[in-house]
A = this chain, B = another copy of it.
Amino acid sequence: MSNVLISEVGPRDGLQNCKSIMPTALKLRWIEAAAKAGLREVEVGSFVNPKLLPQVADTAEVVAGARHIDGLEIAVLVPNIRGAKAAVESGAHKMTLPLSVSETHSIKNVNRTHPQMLDEARAIMALLAEIDADNRPHFEVSLSTLFGCTIEGTVSEKKIATLTEELTAIGVDEIGLSDTTGYANPVSVRQMISLTRSIAGDGKINGIHLHNTRGLGLANALAAFEEGLTTFDSSLGGLGGCPTAPGASGNIVTEDLVYMFEAMGVSTGVDIDGLLECRKIVEAALPDEELFGFIPEAGRPLGATY
């Protein structure tokens, strides 16, 4: 039994920021190795316009190849109802719609204003209402640029509160907290969890997506864990960023995040050696990409039992 869920987003958030395109078969090898290492959720791609992000053009094939891996939840990103329909057809278990608190970023990222994105969320809820509960994917809306925007700067708490209220009224399954730009700090993490939970209720706010742009990724994860969050997005080797948020760099590193929790005695269900095997696959597949992380170099402390 794990105390926290590590959601590997490398095949989506990582690869969409790489110049090269990873072949479908290699993505599946990575996802299989991730599952073998004990990861129980992997975000495998995005149902976006393949012309804009050719790196994830094979998302439907990847979902088809990965969804039967035992015990693995297959997550995808969807920018709108069209993507959500494709996600449902693919058989993905979870889909995430990004709702950027910075409306400027929302327009740049998905070409939609806040009212338009809330309409997309409503349309997705209507789509899901027509599907059997057993086959219906879990639907999360992620509040991106929640901690600030590289274009707008500070985002207002009032806007965050309003969007959280709207999403709660729409009835989405879960509201995610996303530090797209690496602007969060441990105090703002605690504040945002408290603010959004006070509106949406504890059960709707479980996960956080952190970037390590300013080196605070693990400190932020610690603060979020201590506030009671249980799902943490991260990417193997810290691959990632945001193509439409200038200066946004990689996600928190799965290897280091798992190490932090395991060292603290918090079970992740993930085996560090298994992650290092995964890393070899990705290193070989992406020779031009820099992989980050401390644990792959330093190893575990002498005498560690995890």
Contact = CB atoms under 8 A, between A and B. Distances in A.
Given A213-B294, A222-B219, A265 B302 contact: no
A33 interface: no
A258 to B, nearest CB: 11
Contacts of A183: 301
A301 B215 contact: no
Interface residues of A, number: 41
A149 interface: yes
- The interface residues of chain A, by DSSP majority, are classed as loop
A249 B295 CA distance: 12
Interface in A178-217: 181-183, 185-188, 212-216
Interface in A215-260: 215-216, 218-219, 221-223, 247, 249, 253, 256, 259-260
A101 to B, nearest CB: 14
Contacts of A222: 186, 219, 222-223
A16 to B, nearest CB: 20
Interface in A144-163: 148-154
A234 B258 CA distance: 25
Most chain B CB within a 10 A radius of its CB, from A154, A222, A295: A222
Given A152-B302, A215-B253, A216-B256, 16 more contacts: A149-B302, A150-B301, A150-B302, A151-B302, A153-B303, A182-B298, A186-B222, A186-B264, A215-B260, A215-B293, A215-B295, A219-B219, A219-B221, A219-B260, A222-B223, A247-B298
Interface of A: 148-154, 181-183, 185-188, 212-216, 218-219, 221-223, 247, 249, 253, 256, 259-260, 263-265, 293-295, 298-299, 301-303
6 contacts: A152-B302, A153-B303, A214-B259, A214-B294, A215-B256, A219-B260
